[in-house]
Amino acid sequence: MLTKLSELHKMARQHSRRRLVLAAAHDAHAMGAVINAHKNNLVDGIFIGDEKSIKEIGETKGFDLAPFTIIDEPDNAKAAALSVKMVREGEADVLMKGNLGTAILLKAVLNKEYGLRTGEQISHLAVFELPTYHKLIALTDAAMNIAPEFNEKVSITRNAVGFLQKLGIKQPKVAMLSAVETVNPAMKSSMEASAIAKMGDRGQIKGCIIDGPLAFDNAVSRKSAELKGINSPVAGDADLLVADDIDAANGLYKAFIYFARAACAAVILGAAAPIVLTSRADTDDTKLNSIALAAAAGN
C-alpha cells in the first residue's frame, strides 16, 4: 500500500534511469522541473526546442545543462513531433510538455503515422497524499475529458487501473462517483456507475474491484458507508475515484489541494507512454512528484 508520494520517488530510482524528453524545452519552469528531477536521480533529460533560448535560460537561471542532450528545433509543432517520435522509437520513456500549447502536443501524440495511440481515451490522472486519508488516492479525470460518454468513461477507468497496477497496486479499489449511492434512472452518473461496476464484476474491466454508484463520503469513509448500510470492499478504502465529468473531478482536485492541503502528482494517460503536463501555477513539489509518478510506473 502506497501512503506517501515520496515512495514514488523510491520506486522510480529502482528502475534504470528513465529518459524524459521535453518538447519545446525553451521554458524556464519546465526546464527547472526536469533539472530538479535529474538532481533527484529520477530521470535523464532530453531538451528539444530553440537551442539558443534554452542556453540563454540556462545562463540566466544558473542551470547546469551539461548532463542534458539538447536538440535544436525552434518550431514548436516540429519539436512536438520529434519528441513523440523519440518515445515511439524507444529513445525516450516519458514525454513532457514545454513551451507549447497542449493541443499541439496532443496532435502529435495522436498522429496516425508516428504518434502514440493505443486505442484508449487520452485522460488525466492525479494522485494525492492527503493528511486525512490512510493511503494515496487517485482521481480521474480532472483536466482532459469534459463530459465523457459511457464508452469513454470505461476507457478512462481502464487507463487509471492499468497505471495503478504498474505502481504495484495489484487490485485497485475503484469508486464510481455519483451524488447518491443508489441507482436512480433520473441520474446519468448513477446509471453509468452501476453499469461500469457490473462490467468489473463480469471481468470486462480486469484487475480491479469496482463499486458504484458511491457518493464521495461512502468512497472514502468506512463509517459513512456503515451508517448508510453499504457493504462494499471499496467503501472507505478506495484507491481510485472516477468522477462523472470534469466539473466534479476538478472541484475535488482543487478542494484536495486548497482545503485539505494535499500533495499532488499528475500524468496524462491513454498514450503509449505517460505524459507530464505541468502548469506554471504548480508548485515545484508538484512538478517533481509528477515526473516521479511518470518514472515510477516503468514500462
What DSSP assignment string belongs to 10-77? HHHHHSSPEEEEEET---HHHHHHHHHHHHTTSEEEEEEE-HHHHHHHHHHHT---TTSEEEE---HH
The whole-number pLDDT of residue 16 equals 86
**SS3 at position 261:** coil
Residue 225 lies in a domain: yes
The whole-number pLDDT of residue 227 equals 93
Is residue 199 domain-shared with residue 74, that is, in the same domain? no
Q: Does the pLDDT of residue 291 top 60, yes or no?
A: yes
The CA distance from 56 to 54, in Å, is 5
Is residue 253 domain-shared with residue 129, that is, in the same domain? yes
Is residue 16 domain-shared with residue 74, that is, in the same domain? yes
Is residue 45 domain-shared with residue 148, that is, in the same domain? no
Is residue 192 domain-shared with residue 107, that is, in the same domain? no
Q: Which three cell numbers stand for residue 276?
A: 507530464
The whole-number pLDDT of residue 153 equals 98
* Contact between 18 and 270 (Cβ < 8 Å): no
The CA distance from 231 to 233, in Å, is 7
Q: Does the pLDDT of residue 118 top 80, yes or no?
A: yes
Is residue 239 domain-shared with residue 279, that is, in the same domain? no
Q: How confident is the model over 145-193, as pLDDT tens digits?
A: 999 999 999 999 999 999 999 999 999 999 999 999 999 999 999 999 9
> Exposed (0-12), middle (13-18) or buried (19+): which is 228, by Cβ within 10 Å?
middle
Q: What is the mean pLDDT of residues 199-227?
A: 96
Is residue 96 domain-shared with residue 220, that is, in the same domain? no
Residue 1 lies in a domain: no
The confidence band for 282, taking pLDDT boundaries of 50, 70 and 90, is confident
The whole-number pLDDT of residue 63 equals 97
Q: Does the pLDDT of residue 299 top 70, yes or no?
A: no
Residue 110 lies in a domain: yes
Q: How confident is the model over 243-280, as pLDDT tens digits?
A: 999 999 999 999 999 999 999 999 999 999 999 998 87
The confidence band for 298, taking pLDDT boundaries of 50, 70 and 90, is low
Range of 141's domain?
123-263
The whole-number pLDDT of residue 15 equals 83
Q: Does the pLDDT of residue 24 top 70, yes or no?
A: yes
Kindly compute the dihedral angle of the four CA atoms of residues 223, 262, 278, 64, in this order, to the nearest 10 degrees: -140
The whole-number pLDDT of residue 279 equals 82
The CA distance from 287 to 45, in Å, is 14
130: domain CATH number? 3.40.718.10
Q: How confident is the model over 189-200, as pLDDT tens digits?
A: 999 999 999 999
The CA distance from 180 to 189, in Å, is 9
CA distances from 192 to 27, 63, 161, 169, 295 (A): 41, 49, 17, 25, 33
Is residue 219 domain-shared with residue 182, that is, in the same domain? yes
Is residue 135 domain-shared with residue 98, that is, in the same domain? no
Is residue 53 domain-shared with residue 69, that is, in the same domain? yes
Q: What is the mean pLDDT of residues 63-77?
A: 97
- Torsions phi, psi for 167 (to 5 deg): -85, 5
Average pLDDT, the chain: 96
212: alpha, beta or left, given left = phi > 0 and alpha = psi -120 to 50? left
Is residue 180 domain-shared with residue 106, that is, in the same domain? no
Q: What is the mean pLDDT of residues 207-220?
A: 97
Residue 14 lies in a domain: yes
Q: Which residues pair with 127 in a beta bridge?
A: 138, 265
> Exposed (0-12), middle (13-18) or buried (19+): which is 126, by Cβ within 10 Å?
buried
275: domain CATH number? 3.40.50.10950
Task: Work out how many domains the chain is built from and give that number.
Answer: 2
Is residue 127 domain-shared with residue 242, that is, in the same domain? yes
Q: Which three cell numbers stand for residue 211?
A: 463499486
Q: Which residues pair with 247 in a beta bridge?
A: none
Q: Does the pLDDT of residue 53 top 80, yes or no?
A: yes
Residue 69 lies in a domain: yes
